[in-house]
Each structure stands twice: as C-alpha cells, then as structure tokens.
C-alpha cells in the first residue's frame, strides 16, 4: 500500500537546518554537515549523476530504500528556494538547476500563486496555496500507486505531522551540534501524534531511526 513518508537528518541537539539560512547557505550555518553521510553513498552519486563509486553499506541501503517507489514530493517554499513574498519573476526554478533529482511531480507549499513548470528528467513543479492537506492530496493523486515523500523545511513536516498526514518518518541522527536553526519537532503539541519506533539501524557514528505514526 502506498505511504506518505519523510526522510530527514538531524543533529544531536535536534536541528534539521542550521541558523542564518540564505541563498549561499540554504541549510544554514553548519547545516550541510547533516548530509555529508548521504553525499558519500553510491545511491546518492547515482541519483545526482556524479559518476561511479561511493559507499555501499547499510546507509547506502537506507538511501536506496527511501528512493524506491517514489511517485511525488511535497516541500515547503524554503526548500524550493530563497525567494520570499510575491514572486518577483519566475526565473528561479529551484536550487537544483535544469535537472533536479526528484524525477517526479513536486508540490510546493506557498502563499503566493505561481504557474507550474516542467524541467528535465520527469520533474514538474506545482505551487499549492491551499495548505498541506491539499498539497498531499494532489501529490497522492499524481503518485497513483507509489509513495509520496514530504520534504522540508521543518514547518512543512510539522504541519504534516499535526494534520495526521504522515505514515512514517526516517530520522538519521548525525553526531554534530548546530546550536541553533530549525528543529524538527518544535511547535507540536503534546500528544499531537501517536508515534512508534519500528526500526533502528546503526552505521558507524550514525543512527537511522524509523518512526511510524498511528
């Protein structure tokens, strides 16, 4: 059965992005270190056309599993790009250039309407102004019998959790301290979701923790 899932890396102090995010530093100060483990995996290199090589251990298996059966993606506007307020123009097409790594429809949460567009590799971007429920519903329809992934930022994931829209989340705990930025679970009320830890995978200094929402 198709699932609505999320995959995110967090620091030991609970941040999924560092402070002072900007166009030059989209993950905030120190935030890129959260994903250095993924950059080394063979699956990541294949996904981004970075050639052969890369690690092929349990973390690579984690990355491959998270990409399997992917039919659509939902993300917040901050993950799409640094532009705020009304779109000054439609030249900005996201952080990834002409061939983003998703290869499926992407639904971007925003308060400001924008026309959809298509890029190479099966990527299409659609801008949803009616909230997280509408974005997930459209993504599920587009994904058909495949999974939907909900990406960042933190506010988007928090909205999805609070609305009961996530089936599971894979949290990779990275042994760094960011000291500030965006926390994954801030702003959620006590008891906002029933959560079960269903899998733990350890690889060197990393922990991959899979939680299921009930």
The pTM of the full predicted model, rounded to 2 decimals, is 0.92
Domain ranges within the chain, ordered by starting residue:
1-15+70-81+93-179
Q: How far is CA 74 from its chain centroid? A: 8
Distance of CA 22 to the CA centre of its chain: 18
Note whether 150 and 136 are within 8 A (CB): yes
Bridging pattern class, strands 147-150 and 124-128 = unpaired
The pLDDT score that the predictor gives to residue 54 is 87
Instruction: Kindly report which listed range (23-32, 132-141, 160-169) carries the lowest average pLDDT score.
Output: 23-32
The residue-averaged pLDDT of 98-116 equals 94
How many C-beta atoms lie closer than 10 Å to residue 5's C-beta? 19
Q: Between β-strands 124-128 and 117-118, what pairing exists: parallel, antiparallel or unpaired?
A: antiparallel
Give DSSP secondary structure letters for 102-131: --SEEEEE-SS----EE-GGG-EEEEE-S-
Q: How far apart are CA 173 and CA 202, in angstroms?
A: 10
- Cβ(139)–Cβ(122) under 8 Å? no
pLDDT at 139: 98
SS3 5: strand
| Integer CA distances (angstroms), 40 to 114, 173, 182, 206, in order | 35, 16, 24, 13
- Residue-wise DSSP of 58-98: HHHHHHHHHHTTEEEEEEEHHHH-S--SS-S-S----TTTT
Q: Among the listed ranges 18-22, 44-48, 86-90, 97-101, which one has the minimum average pLDDT value?
A: 44-48
For 1-15+70-81+93-179, CATH gives 3.40.430.10
């Amino acid at each position: 059965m198709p699932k609505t899932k999320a995959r995110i890396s967090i620091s030991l102090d609970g941040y999924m992005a560092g402070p002072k995010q900007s166009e030059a530093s989209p993950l905030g100060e120190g935030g890129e270190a959260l994903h250095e483990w993924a950059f080394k995996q063979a699956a990541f290199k294949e996904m981004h056309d970075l050639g052969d090589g890369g690690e092929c251990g349990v973390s690579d298996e984690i990355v491959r599993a998270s990409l399997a059966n992917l039919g659509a993606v939902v993300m917040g506007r901050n993950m799409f790009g640094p532009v705020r307020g009304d779109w000054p123009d439609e030249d900005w097409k996201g952080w990834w250039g002409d061939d983003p790594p998703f290869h499926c429809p992407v639904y971007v949460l925003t308060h400001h309407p924008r026309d959809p567009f298509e890029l190479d590799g099966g990527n299409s971007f659609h801008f949803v102004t009616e909230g997280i429920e509408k974005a997930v519903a459209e993504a599920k329809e587009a994904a058909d019998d495949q999974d939907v992934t909900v990406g960042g930022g933190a506010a988007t994931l928090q909205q999805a959790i609070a609305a009961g829209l996530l089936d599971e989340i894979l949290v990779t705990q990275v042994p760094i301290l960011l000291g500030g930025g965006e926390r994954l679970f801030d702003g959620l009320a006590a008891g906002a979701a029933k959560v079960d830890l269903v899998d733990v995978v350890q690889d060197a200094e990393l922990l991959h923790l899979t939680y299921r929402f009930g």
